Structure 1
Amino acid sequence: MNEPQVEPQGALQGAARAPKSAMPSTSGMATPTASPRVTAGARRAAPVTPRQLVIAKIVVFMASLYPLARLILFGVTGQLGANPIEFITRSTGLWTLVFLCITLAVTPLRRLTGRAELIRLRRMLGLFAFFYALLHFTTYFWLDQWFDLHAIVKDVIKRPFITVGFGAFLLLIPLAATSFQAAVRKLGRRWQTLHRAIYAIAVLAILHFWWMRAGKNDLELPQIYATIVAVLLGFRIVWALLARRKAARAA
């Protein structure tokens, strides 16, 4: 899942390429002159070798499996607590939000550090966000509700935090399905429009988490993640405004 390169557009981050008219190519290692949007830091940054990039991807992939490995270990050793289903549901939901934040952070980090090769990690991170969202939804749909569609529909309608969470998950599906290069080529500029939904997904995820914790008057974590998402989206808004001002002056 990818984020369009034209700010403030975005989607679940990825390594897929958009058409040249839409976003810089990521088919190989990014060079200091790969995009006019690359900051001055990028011109000074030493390029990463293909071997280093492969190692980085392996490290990120293995690290991203940690939440799943932790759940499996806890399950095998009986450490899921008195309510294992609730533990799994909340753990997978929280890690979904974590990966959404990490994915959204890639573009700001690229611009601030000049490390254009960070773009090559976005798709993997975005797909892991979807993976944990899928586990989160499956746990609720299967282990919690036992495929009782009537109860699920009633729950979605009755409880706002489930409503927005379900909406966020539905929006994630087309983003995950179109995160690959073939979809980027086929959709063209429509791919960018579709993947801007990542911003709505992040907001819905925060609302889902906030309303769920509000019932227990425990808003410390929701406030932290809401701040993180606000900062990450704020970066994009500022950059978009600066770009428009620069374009207006040039005209």
Structure 2
Amino acid sequence: MVDSLNTALRRVPAWLLYIVLPLPAFWFLYLGLTGGLGAEPIKALEQELGEFALQLLIVGLAVTPLRRFAGLNLIRFRRAIGLMAFFYVALHLLTWLVLDVQILSQIWADIVKRPYITIGMAGFVLLVPLALTSNNWSVRRLGPRWRKLHKLTYLAVLLGGVHYLMLAKGLQLEPLLYLGVILGLLALRIEPGKLRRRIGRRSAA
């Protein structure tokens, strides 16, 4: 079953994701312009873009565990998923900057005074170098440092989950589920053998 699915996925070009994944952004915008996002369309648009960005970040985070534990190979799509996640994070941020706050001094004040915005902005800043180096030239240029740099993804996704949790009014189930999935996927990436070796080296030191 998994082998046949992997065979079918190999026939899907990765570039197709750059066409398909931006489509929800146009749908959200259409809903906002036609009243489909409720009484506060700008706030709703921010939320839709941010939540879809978080979903894509989670999918990207799940690629390695899916291959390791389920045999499902989505590695060839991971770069496109990551770049599209950054695209939606950037749209989420731009919607907040341009349509919501608009006043430059107020933007800085919100970043400094509101912890959930501070955390969200920190996650965005971490994603910037990852997006800029998501190309073959950077992989060759950076060598082993490329993998180390892209481990910032883990922290960026975690910050995104915390940002969503803090943004929600009151204790809501959905943000908790997102954060739980993120923590679970991060835990699955821990290799017990490597962890034991690291603990052993520290004990020896």
CA offset at residue 202 of structure 1? 1.2
Deviations 1:156-189 (A, max 9, x none): 1110000000000011111000000100111111
- Is structure 2 residue 191 aligned with structure 1 residue 232? no
**TM-score, normalised by the number of residues in structure 2:** 0.86
Q: Deviations over 1:36-64 (max 9, x none)?
A: xxxxx99xx46956x85353536644542
Structure 1 unaligned segments of length 5 or more: list them: 1-40
1:197, 1:68 → 2: CA distance? 25
In 1: Cα distance, 2:161 partner to 2:6 partner: 35
Q: What TM-score results when the alignment is normalised by the length of structure 1?
A: 0.71
Is 1:73 the counterpart of 2:73 in the alignment? Answer: no
Which residues of structure 2 form unaligned runs of 5+? 201-205
Structure 1 or 2: more helix by fraction: 2
Q: 2:99 aligns with which of 143, 152, 167?
A: 143
1:241 aligns with 2:192: yes
Deviation at 1:144, TM superposition (A): 1.0
Structure 1 stretches of at least 4 aligned residues deviating more than 6 Å after TM superposition: none
Alignment of 1:134 onto 2:90: yes
Letter matched to residue 48 of structure 2 = S
Structure 1 counterpart of 2:21, which letter?
Answer: S
Q: How many matched pairs?
A: 199
Q: What's the CA shift for 1:82?
A: 1.1
**8 A contact 2:116–2:167 mirrored in 1:** yes
Determine helix, strand or coil for the equivalent of 1:79: coil
Aligned counterparts of 1:205 and 1:235: Cα–Cα separation in 2: 19
Superposed CA offset, 1:183-223 (max 9, x none): 0111111111111101111111111111111xx21421111
Correspondence for 1:90: 47
| Alignment-mate amino acid for residue 12 of structure 2 | I
- From the superposition, tell whether residues 46 and 82 of structure 1 become closer, same or farther in structure 2 (CA, over 3 Å): closer
**Out of 142, 163, 168, which is 1:208 matched to?**
163
**1:122-201 to 2 correspondence within 5 Å?**
122-146=78-102, 148-201=103-156
Aligned partner letter, 1:241: P
Equivalent residue, structure 2, for 1:25: none
